[in-house]
Amino acid sequence: MTDATSIIALPAAPLHALEIWSNPMALATRVQKALGFALPAMNRSAGNGSITLLRFEPTVWLAEGAVSVLVDTLGDDGALTAIGGGIVRFRIAGPGWRELLMEGGVFDTSAAAFPVGATAATVIDHVGVRLHAESDDACIAYVPSSYAQSLHHFWDEALPLLAS
């Protein structure tokens, strides 16, 4: 039942693009030592209490949280770029979140295709978005600020239709 599904714009958070340019194996070892967890594989996430890394591209991760430990760890092998001002995060939660994200989209959000901890880059209603299956009951959508209001409106309009 989708009537309990909610779409909430989350407060701004420190978001950075983490890019690896060279020495990927050595850098991955340094990152694991610094963070206490390995860089997540493609279309997966990993984290601890202060930072979450979401992998959407072969050499790029979205880093959400405290990234200061990564600055010295990267050295000349990569970079962190602040992107939080250009992104709005939405938590879509409740029993209909998977169906809602398939409305106007081209992505299979079924639990088998998009399990908890998975990440994806896709298009919804002509907008490029990044998704993170946060739990069985919720997903975080990372939306460009310039499209956030219109995509939120699209989801608000689609939600009642899923219940019929």
C-beta separation of 108 from 116 below 8 A: no
| pLDDT at residue 106, rounded to an integer | 83
* Domain 6-11+86-161: CATH class, spelled out: alpha beta
Q: Which residue, among 36, 30, 33, 29, has the nearest Cα to 51 in the 3D structure?
A: 36
Burial 10-40 (b: 16+ CB within 10 A, else e): eeeeebbebebeeeeeebeebbeeebeeebb
Q: How far apart are CA 159 and CA 1, in angstroms?
A: 10
pLDDT on residue 107 = 86
Residue type for position 21 = W
Residues of the chain with pLDDT under 50: 1-2
Tell me the H-state helices in the chain: 24-35, 68-74, 97-102, 145-163
Q: Check: CB of residue 100 under 8 Å from CB of residue 158.
A: yes
Tell me 73's DSSP state. Answer: H
The pTM for the full model equals: 0.93
Q: What's the pLDDT score for residue 164?
A: 63
The full set of domain ranges for the chain reads: 6-11+86-161, 15-84
Domain 15-84, second-level architecture: 2-Layer Sandwich (3.30)
Question: b/e map of 152-164 (b: 16 or more CB within 10 Å)?
Answer: bebbeebbeeeee
User: CB-based contacts of 116: which residues, under 8 Å, 6+ apart?
Assistant: 133, 134, 135, 136
In this structure, are residues 121 and 130 in contact, taking their beta carbons and an 8 Å threshold? yes
Backbone angles phi, psi at 120, to 5 degrees: -155, 150
Residues 83, 24 contacting (CB under 8 angstroms): no
